[in-house]
Structure 1
């Protein structure tokens, strides 16, 4: 389409742009009045959260259902691996993503189950219950706690605790990143929220007539349109609305784009200022026509600009509060210089993903095991002083022995992991001070609520990567936990 045919400035599109990006509150109020007021959780896109899915295996169990609840409260995308979908609905509700699979059957761990996962929390366990007919009078005691002679119900410990965990580890390893990267936008499988967060910001806002859009096709985001230099214009772009909370990208070195362009030079902007017309941090990158390339953009190379002019006294970008992202094709480089690879007319830039690189390694597989797994058969162990699970390991099909082998299958993988070995699990309220130790010597009890919280916190702490530890509750309540310090006190596995 020629400039002659596009020389008329479009007032309607100008107003539409300002309305979409909430520049003029009155316009947004009118739009809400006409279209209906949006729900509170639709007003502003959510940033700073995991883009990929966290897969929870054993999601209907005592720990698993609490893990799911906490992840949902944090705004994470959760997928629950279950064997009985009706039972899972009754326990977890109707607003949870459920997939039917069985970790003991490797052929059920399909791409449908594992697609787009960024972490796994495994809380699976064989079912143990008292032998039928046991009474309180026949109950045994350990440290004043009553327990009954137990037995395994359903599948064997070997199948669940070892082979099942091994199956899940091997299947997940094909999907989990082993590098120190974090996905920001995955356009290969865009969510509804992701589709609704990007909008066009073209030179119509300055009187120009260029027009662009972003569409989601062929598992990519397609930034496409027509750039015109008529009316002193010459740029087209797509930009996200401001995220709240913002993205914390501190600890990473830069942004990496996976793109296929048309040979022109484009710009990426990151913004820490929520103002519509505020400071942006820009980087220009060249594309190769019809070829997929990875573009790495170090944060240190971002240029502070305001309306294509370099702001020389601006500070370096504050990467812990990035509120928006923008892609642009412009006639101009910076300070009046021209883009040497710019051509007016139609353009296309496909984007597959946007991620940050160079960060610390976070755990990507959290396994809930059990304290005592190394004690059966360990020299010097007095079984009379041990908890029931250790004393009855043989009667329970070697449950702790198989749990240890399940742990070993995870440690042997290349997946960054955290292995949690809780002492006796209880239904008591959480919030106690937690004692984390290594060496598999502690005894005691711990709330399932607290174990679930450890699972969720471990995914956020690089200090928890490649750790195996036991945990029990202390005597006192804890107002808050310094998770970084708790994990830092432990030694990574060798």
Structure 2
């Protein structure tokens, strides 16, 4: 092609691309200074953290409100299931999404409740209060029923059994696969997500192709025009580098849900922070106007540098993933042509991106109670048991129905963790904890520590399908080793 026939190169777009991805630090810093903005906060879509919304049921209760606060502190998106939205807002603040419903009324548990949810923390329970005429103050009320004469307000059967069953069955219909790690959910995009992806087209090589990615119809729409002028022929969208990098160790690969135009695209992962470093590529064909699931096994990734394969490159390292990229290119690898490439307009819609084939994580965490198996157990000396065990019948069979609620969770088929705390207190958290199984221990534990335990369970594969009791450890100043605590427990026989 002669110089006369060359299309005009857009140097402004070239500089804009490098600035967006902070390839030219001086220009990027100058732009932030002139715009009066702070350093861009890169999206940390994961690290070791589960992505997706965490639904907290019973969010205004003594444990539930602490779980909400602890999740928000760790930057989890939280949806609180509450009976009274106004009360919920007053108690929980503006950083939590509220959903008004009642687990004892199944028709209120609408599909929108579970939209984008990756796990449920269930802190619900029948309300126990002092009998009429008992003047127990609020401090004593939260310290437990041994400080006042109690009565149940609602039916334990309806709340602690049927309500839990309703919630577990609703969750089971909507939760995704337990071995997947959601990285980008374009149905429910965050503001940070909108600023994460940008175009990297052949303008960086002198070409004139142009693309963009934008949110449309609850998907990410990768579209534009690809041209072979000026020896070009590729368009792509790429994330800014994650800080810290994603940790996808333990997963088999990346799963994408997308709809294309019949062309062959590439999905690219980068395991180093360099702008122009090694890319690990996987080609896939789309079906015109049909949604498909694409699985990208890490073992099948091809190491590439500037479209040339690298035979001696190190294997892809899933421990640190710095960037993701989608590309439409005239070329495959080493000069070979893309057999399904068509210059001109193109369209690729993406619903979600996530890791697959990982170790399952708990998806339903239930706060039950120590002592649920003791009422009616042969050999039990009621004089030695906590008040809840001694007064089980008086309180409408509260522990008996909690046990039935546990059974409903196990039968739901969802990976779960059932936590049975001993007597709950208002004391400060940060104490060493002791886990046991068999429902024989007695003791106390802070509500703050139960909230922290819920947070830890969310990211512990070893906590899947466990039921255990927990209390504050005696005479122990050792820091908590969560993995060791969970590793010492035995999974339930399902």
**Paired residue secondary structure (1:174):** helix
Q: Which runs of 5+ in 2 are unaligned?
A: none
In structure 2, what is the equivalent of residue 35 of structure 1? Answer: 35
In structure 1, what is the equivalent of residue 380 of structure 2? Answer: 381
Cα-to-partner distance string for 1:219-261 (whole Å, 9 max, x where unaligned): 2222111111111211100001111222111111111122222
1:454-493 equivalences in 2 (<5 Å):
454-478=453-477, 480-493=479-492
Deviation of 1:146 after TM superposition, in Å, equals 5.5
Alignment length (residue pairs): 482
In structure 1, what is the equivalent of residue 294 of structure 2? Answer: 295
Please tell me whether the aligned partners of residues 268 and 283 of structure 1 are also in contact (alpha carbons under 8 angstroms).
yes
Matched, 1:95 2:74: no
Relative distance call for 1:233 and 1:358 in structure 2 (3 A) is same
Deviation of 1:332 after TM superposition, in Å, equals 1.6
Deviates more, 1:419-428 or 1:283-292: 283-292
Tell me, in whole angstroms, the C-alpha distance in 2 between the residues paired with 1:70 and 1:179: 23
Matched, 1:174 2:183: no
Please tell me whether the aligned partners of residues 431 and 478 of structure 1 are also in contact (alpha carbons under 8 angstroms).
no
Deviates more, 1:227-236 or 1:170-179: 170-179
Please tell me whether the aligned partners of residues 6 and 209 of structure 1 are also in contact (alpha carbons under 8 angstroms).
no
In structure 2, what is the equivalent of residue 21 of structure 1? Answer: 21
**Paired residue secondary structure (1:304):** strand
Relative distance call for 1:478 and 1:306 in structure 2 (3 A) is farther
Tell me, in whole angstroms, the C-alpha distance in 2 between the residues paired with 1:487 and 1:179: 18
In structure 1, what is the equivalent of residue 323 of structure 2? Answer: 324
Cα-to-partner distance string for 1:202-233 (whole Å, 9 max, x where unaligned): 01111110000112222222211111111121
Please tell me whether the aligned partners of residues 47 and 245 of structure 1 are also in contact (alpha carbons under 8 angstroms).
no
Please tell me whether the aligned partners of residues 239 and 325 of structure 1 are also in contact (alpha carbons under 8 angstroms).
yes
Deviation of 1:53 after TM superposition, in Å, equals 0.6
In structure 2, what is the equivalent of residue 198 of structure 1? Answer: 197
Deviation of 1:283 after TM superposition, in Å, equals 0.8
Tell me, in whole angstroms, the C-alpha distance in 1 between the residues paired with 2:263 and 2:95: 44
**Paired residue secondary structure (2:401):** helix
Tell me, in whole angstroms, the C-alpha distance in 2 between the residues paired with 1:476 and 1:307: 61
Cα-to-partner distance string for 1:162-208 (whole Å, 9 max, x where unaligned): 11111111111111124422222122232222222111000111111
Tell me, in whole angstroms, the C-alpha distance in 2 between the residues paired with 1:192 and 1:5: 43
1:329-348 equivalences in 2 (<5 Å):
329-348=328-347
Tell me, in whole angstroms, the C-alpha distance in 2 between the residues paired with 1:179 and 1:145: 38
Q: 2:44 aligns with which of 46, 60, 63?
A: 46
Tell me, in whole angstroms, the C-alpha distance in 2 between the residues paired with 1:179 and 1:196: 28
Tell me, in whole angstroms, the C-alpha distance in 2 between the residues paired with 1:105 and 1:25: 56
Please tell me whether the aligned partners of residues 252 and 358 of structure 1 are also in contact (alpha carbons under 8 angstroms).
yes
Deviates more, 1:293-302 or 1:257-266: 257-266
Relative distance call for 1:353 and 1:178 in structure 2 (3 A) is closer
Relative distance call for 1:36 and 1:261 in structure 2 (3 A) is same
In structure 2, what is the equivalent of residue 165 of structure 1? Answer: 164
Relative distance call for 1:381 and 1:306 in structure 2 (3 A) is same
Alignment RMSD (CA, Å): 2.0
Deviation of 1:479 after TM superposition, in Å, equals 5.0
Tell me, in whole angstroms, the C-alpha distance in 2 between the residues paired with 1:181 and 1:64: 26
Tell me, in whole angstroms, the C-alpha distance in 1 between the residues paired with 2:436 and 2:79: 31
Deviation of 1:452 after TM superposition, in Å, equals 1.0
Please tell me whether the aligned partners of residues 208 and 232 of structure 2 are also in contact (alpha carbons under 8 angstroms).
yes
Relative distance call for 1:486 and 1:5 in structure 2 (3 A) is farther
**Paired residue secondary structure (2:452):** helix
Tell me, in whole angstroms, the C-alpha distance in 2 between the residues paired with 1:8 and 1:72: 50
**Paired residue secondary structure (2:27):** helix
Tell me, in whole angstroms, the C-alpha distance in 1 between the residues paired with 2:84 and 2:5: 61
